[in-house]
């Protein structure tokens, strides 16, 4: 039982480190919550401070999902690795450092997927960036990959608990994008500039 509490606690703590917030402070000397969408995620950092800061935030948010999941996978088993993944994402989205607020979980979820099933991670990454570069709408890319995540996981015959994780996370990420979905339906969702700032 102790190992479960350790996995849950450490994964949440690692996931809750607000790297996008920190990146914006260090690289832009701003509180990212006061800019753009107000979201403390890599997309808002990218929109506000440009490619370099956005990539830094994305990579660090990715790592805080990857690290707990891969450690749990190597030391224990896939089931505990899935548990670590869940709480790393929860930590990112509801960070106690930021008053239990955070980002939308896309980069951190991506990190957990690459740790547990890298082939699925690669498929989703290619899809994500293909949609970003063709539509320039980050939210549409994230919603699409979140929708396809459980479907791909099921047909690739992954661990049953991972399929449940994929389904839950897919629904959760889509829910976190509810305001983006409304703007997409209204035709008012903004497009990303891919130029370096």
- Please check whether residue 195 lies inside any domain of the structure: no
d(Cα 10, Cα 64) in Å, to the nearest integer? 11
pTM of the model: 0.90
Helix locations, the chain, DSSP H:
2-15, 19-28, 42-49, 51-75, 78-93, 106-116, 118-135, 138-155, 160-176, 178-186
- Please check whether residue 181 lies inside any domain of the structure: yes
Tens of pLDDT along 9-46? 999 999 999 999 999 999 999 999 999 889 899 989 99
- Please check whether residue 174 lies inside any domain of the structure: yes
Domain carrying residue 110 = 2-186
- Please check whether residue 8 lies inside any domain of the structure: yes
Mean of the pLDDT values across residues 54-78? Answer: 96
pLDDT band (50, 70, 90) for residue 190: confident
d(Cα 140, Cα 194) in Å, to the nearest integer? 16
**The pLDDT value given to residue 192:** 78
Tens of pLDDT along 124-154? 999 998 998 999 898 999 999 999 999 999 9
Tokens of 91: 């930590």
- Please check whether residue 50 lies inside any domain of the structure: yes
How far is CA 15 from each of CA 44, 128, 169, rounded to the nearest angstrom? 18, 22, 15
Domain count, the chain: 1
Query: Is residue 14 exposed (0-12), middle (13-18) or buried (19+ Cβ within 10 Å)?
Result: buried
**The pLDDT value given to residue 131:** 94
pLDDT band (50, 70, 90) for residue 195: low
- Please check whether residue 80 lies inside any domain of the structure: yes
Mean of the pLDDT values across residues 177-190? Answer: 91
What percent of the chain has pLDDT above 90? Answer: 84
């Amino acid at each position: 039982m102790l190992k479960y509490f350790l996995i849950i606690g450490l994964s949440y703590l690692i996931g809750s480190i607000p790297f996008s917030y920190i990146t914006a402070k260090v690289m832009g000397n701003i509180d990212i919550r006061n800019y753009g969408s107000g979201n403390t995620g890599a997309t808002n950092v990218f929109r506000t401070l440009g490619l370099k800061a956005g990539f830094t935030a994305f990579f660090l948010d990715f790592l805080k999902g990857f690290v707990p999941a891969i450690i749990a996978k190597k030391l224990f088993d896939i089931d505990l690795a899935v548990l670590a993944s869940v709480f790393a994402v929860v930590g990112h989205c509801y960070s106690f450092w930021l008053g239990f607020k955070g980002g939308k979980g896309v980069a951190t979820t991506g990190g957990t997927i690459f740790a547990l099933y890298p082939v699925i991670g690669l498929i989703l990454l290619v899809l994500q960036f293909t949609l970003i570069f063709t539509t320039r709408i980050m939210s549409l890319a994230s919603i699409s990959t979140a929708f396809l995540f459980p479907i791909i996981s099921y047909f690739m015959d992954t661990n049953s608990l991972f399929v449940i994780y994929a389904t839950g996370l897919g629904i959760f990420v889509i829910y976190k994008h509810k305001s983006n979905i409304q703007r997409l339906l209204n035709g008012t969702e903004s497009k990303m500039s891919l130029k370096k700032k």
